[in-house]
Amino acid sequence: MSSDRLNRLYSAYFGSSPKAVTMDMPESLGSGHIAQVITKQGTVLSEWSFTYDKDIRACGKSSSNYVHFLFCMGEDIAWEATGIQHDICLSGGMSCVYCGQDRDERVCYQKGKEYIFQSLRVSTDYIKELLENYFEDESCAKYKTKLLTEVSKIQITPYMEHIFSEIKGFEQYRGGIAHLFLDSKVQELLAAYMNEVFEIDMRSHTVPRLLNSECEAIKNAKLIIDSQLAYAPNMEQLARLVGLSISKLGKGFSEMYGMPVHAYIIDRRLEKAACMLMAGEHTVTQIASMVGYNKPSNFSAAFKRKYGTLPKEYKKKNGFPN
Report CA Rg, the chain: 22
Q: Which residue intervals of the chain bear CATH 1.10.10.60?
A: 207-318
Residues 56-108 pLDDT 10s = 888 888 888 888 899 988 888 888 877 776 667 788 888 888 887 787 888 88
DSSP string for residues in 236-272:
HHHHHHHT--HHHHHHHHHHHHSS-HHHHHHHHHHHH
* 18-203 maps to CATH 1.10.3720.10: no
How far is residue 127's CA from residue 307's CA, in Å, rounded to a whole number?
Answer: 33
Q: Which residue intervals of the chain bear CATH 2.60.120.280?
A: 18-203
Question: Residue 49: which of 141, 148, 120, 115 has the closest Cα?
Answer: 115
How far is residue 283's CA from residue 276's CA, in Å, rounded to a whole number?
Answer: 9
* 207-318 maps to CATH 3.60.20.10: no
Q: How far is the CA of 262 from the CAs of 107, 253, 292, in angstroms?
A: 39, 10, 13
| Least confident segment among 45-49, 55-59, 61-65, 277-281 | 277-281
Residues 133-191 pLDDT 10s = 988 888 888 888 888 887 778 878 877 888 888 888 888 888 888 888 998 999 999 88
Task: Name the residue with higher pLDDT: 197 or 117.
Answer: 117
- Asked whether residue 13 carries a pLDDT value surpassing 50, the answer given is no
- Cα four-point dihedral sign 145, 150, 154, 157: positive
